[in-house]
Amino acid sequence: MRPNVLINLINKSFKIFMGNSFQLIQSKYNASSFVTEGKSSALNIFPNDTEKVKVIEWFGNFWLFLKITFKTETKKIDRKIDTQINTLISLSVFQGEDFDNEKTQLFRAEWDDYNDLKEKHAQPHWHITSSQAIENIFGDDAFFSIQPEISQKLEKKKEKIFDVRKIHFAMNADWQKINGTYIHKMDEEQEIVRWLQGLITYLRTELES
């Protein structure tokens, strides 16, 4: 994968596809990452961490954040050193009004290309995060601070519920093939561009329905 080619292709096609607000720029915190940077704040939720991001306006009260990271990996194969670039893509959808200090994350779509058909997690995949966002809202509610017994009951119930944020919900696994795997590979930059365009078009259709 050629990082500069991919980023240029995405920026060129998505300015036509989504308008001038869309632009991947090099991250201030990681030279190997490229991100969209809007004017509104949000929290990108991971199973064991959160990341403060700036989201771009999409449509209605929905917002987007896209991050593409290139990781260089060196392997020794048959006494030869092989270097490859792994492409990690993460697209998050948020909801909120202009005046909201932080937008609420609904879900995240990811495609982590480690060039490994035995990869444990399906590629591409979904992460559902809206349940955690709702829990945070209730956790901050003043009502529960004055009625601790209700808060304690809710916490006990939450402990019994499996945290779905941990699951990589398969999006396009090749299970239907003979000896198929969880991994759907992409080898060309243009494939990634088409996948992102299709993904965003589909998500908008679903969110508008």
Q: How many CA atoms does the CB half-sphere of 186 hold within 13 Å?
A: 23
**pLDDT of amino acid 54:** 94
Angle at 129 between CA 37 and CA 190, to 5 degrees: 50
What separation, in Å, do the N-terminal and C-terminal C-alpha atoms of the chain show?
36
Question: What residue ranges do the domains of the chain occupy?
Answer: 3-130+163-208
What is the enclosing helix (H) or strand (E) of 131? helix 130-139
17 close to 9: Cβ distance less than 8 angstroms = no
What whole-number distance in Å separates Cα of residue 93 and Cα of residue 103?
A: 10
Would you say how long the chain is, in residues? 209
The sign of the torsion formed by the CA atoms of 142, 146, 147, 149 equals positive
State whether the Cα torsion 151-154-160-164 is positive or negative. negative
Dump pLDDT digits (tens) for 76-104: 767 778 788 889 999 999 999 988 888 98
Residues ≥6 apart with Cβ < 8 Å to 126: 107, 108, 109, 110, 168, 169, 171
Quick: pLDDT tens for 145-188. 556 666 666 666 666 666 666 777 778 877 777 777 778 888 88
**Helix 3-18 × helix 189-208 angle, to 10°:** 30
- Res 23 pLDDT > 70: yes
Q: Would you say 92 and 105 are in contact if contact means Cβ atoms under 8 Å apart?
A: yes
pLDDT tens-digit series, residues 103-157: 989 999 999 887 776 778 888 999 888 765 555 555 555 445 556 666 666 666 6
* Range 14-20, long-range pairs (CB < 8 A, 24+ positions): 14/196, 14/197, 17/197, 17/200, 18/58, 18/200
Q: What is the pLDDT of residue 194?
A: 93
* Residues paired with residue 109 on neighbouring β-strands, in sequence order: 91, 126
Cross-strand partners of 82: 75
